[in-house]
A = this chain, B = another copy of it.
Amino acid sequence: MAFDRLIEKAAKLQNPMVAGLDPKLDIIPEKIRERAFEQYGKTLEGAAAAILECNKELIDALCDVVPAVKPQCAYYELYGWQGMKALRDTIAYADEKGMFVIADGIRSYFGNAMQAYAEAYLGETDVGGGRTPVFGADALTVNGYFGSDGVKPLLRACREFDKGIFVLVKTSNPSSNELQNQAFEGGELLYEAMGRFCEQWGEDLPGRYGYSGVGAVIQPTWPNQLRDLRRMMPHTLFLIPEYESGSADDITPAFNANGLGAMVSTSRPLFCAWKKMGAPQEDFAKCARESAIRTRDEIMAHIGAIRL
């Protein structure tokens, strides 16, 4: 099962981190940008070339420290089909370097259209009788508003192609309380109901280490929330986005005594580490690596060793 692979990679590197590859043009080092613009002009093609180059340097610098990457699809669609090509090439490069790839597209639909997303990101597409992989990610993030019909096509692809999904459960943006934190009759909150479904959907994709192939995107807004969700969702791997240095205390409740249970994603702090470190911009990848190592150490100091 795909998340067994992810967990094993995390254990091997003793690091539950995910590097968010969200390369908006304005945070890409100037030299890389200029080089791409020289070759392709200030075009979507040029932007896409810069993104890919930047990602590759980051992947090279991180692949023996960080087990997984999470490209946010929005930042690739932002540069059109050229950006989507960079997404595909980024995924292929990370895969080649042994990293687990989570495509952060938060797709939602049901039936045939969700089947199409499943084939595009996790499976294979039928092209005139032959089948070909498309974006080739290991996992996809998903919005479960449609209920089970919106997830079943993905579960089929997960089984067939050894992949996983992360369902959006709880986010920490200020307005998340408008819907997610509202209580249904009987007292269950909307995000708790979504979490309950994750457990249920995951029953079909059991994993070797106690976590199913259906994970959950969880951004806790208060410490006990994470503890409660962990208790309610014992078989669900958490993906905690937007980790900021210094908040390791907040995320430890997601892990068990063996250091298993969650993957922790960080993006901008890696991309922009060179600024914070007062280093020249050319050293951005080296600085990202140093920052990743510090973040790893910080998290590992709180959760202890990752033991399988």
A interface residue numbers (CB < 8 A to B): 22, 24-26, 33, 37, 42-44, 46-47, 72, 74-75, 77-82, 84-85, 87-88, 106-114, 116-117, 119-121, 125-130, 132, 134-135, 143-150, 168, 171, 173-180, 182-185, 187, 190, 193-194, 197
Bound-complex Cα distance A179 to B46 (A): 43
Given known A-B contacts A149-B173, A190-B190, A128 and B46 have beta carbons under 8 A apart: yes
- Chain B minimum-CB-distance residue to A111: B173
Q: By the criterion CB–CB under 8 Å, are B173 and A42 in contact?
A: no
Instruction: Pick the contact of A146: B77, B85, B176 (CB < 8 A).
Output: B176
Given known A-B contacts A78-B120, A134-B78, A42 and B174 have beta carbons under 8 A apart: no
Bound-complex Cα distance A72 to B109 (A): 10
Given known A-B contacts A107-B74, A182-B184, A42 and B175 have beta carbons under 8 A apart: no
Q: By the criterion CB–CB under 8 Å, are B173 and A110 in contact?
A: yes
Q: Which of A33, A43, A127, A132 has the most CB of B within 10 A?
A: A127
Residues of chain B lying within 8 A (CB to CB) of residue A26: 126
Given known A-B contacts A43-B127, A75-B116, A113-B72, A174 and B194 have beta carbons under 8 A apart: no
Bound-complex Cα distance A44 to B107 (A): 21
Copies of this subunit: 2
Residues of chain B lying within 8 A (CB to CB) of residue A113: 22, 72, 74-75
Residues of chain B lying within 8 A (CB to CB) of residue A114: 74
Q: By the criterion CB–CB under 8 Å, are A146 and B120 in contact?
A: no
Known: A147-B180, A148-B175. 14 other contacts (CB 8 A): A26-B126, A37-B128, A72-B109, A74-B117, A75-B116, A77-B84, A77-B117, A77-B120, A77-B135, A79-B127, A81-B85, A145-B145, A146-B176, A185-B185
Bound-complex Cα distance A178 to B197 (A): 9
Q: By the criterion CB–CB under 8 Å, are B185 and A173 in contact?
A: no
Smallest beta-carbon distance A253→chain B, Å: 23
Instruction: Pick the contact of A106: B44, B77, B108, B121 (CB < 8 A).
Output: B108
Q: By the criterion CB–CB under 8 Å, are A178 and B147 in contact?
A: yes
Q: By the criterion CB–CB under 8 Å, are A24 and B176 in contact?
A: no
Q: By the criterion CB–CB under 8 Å, are B149 and A44 in contact?
A: no
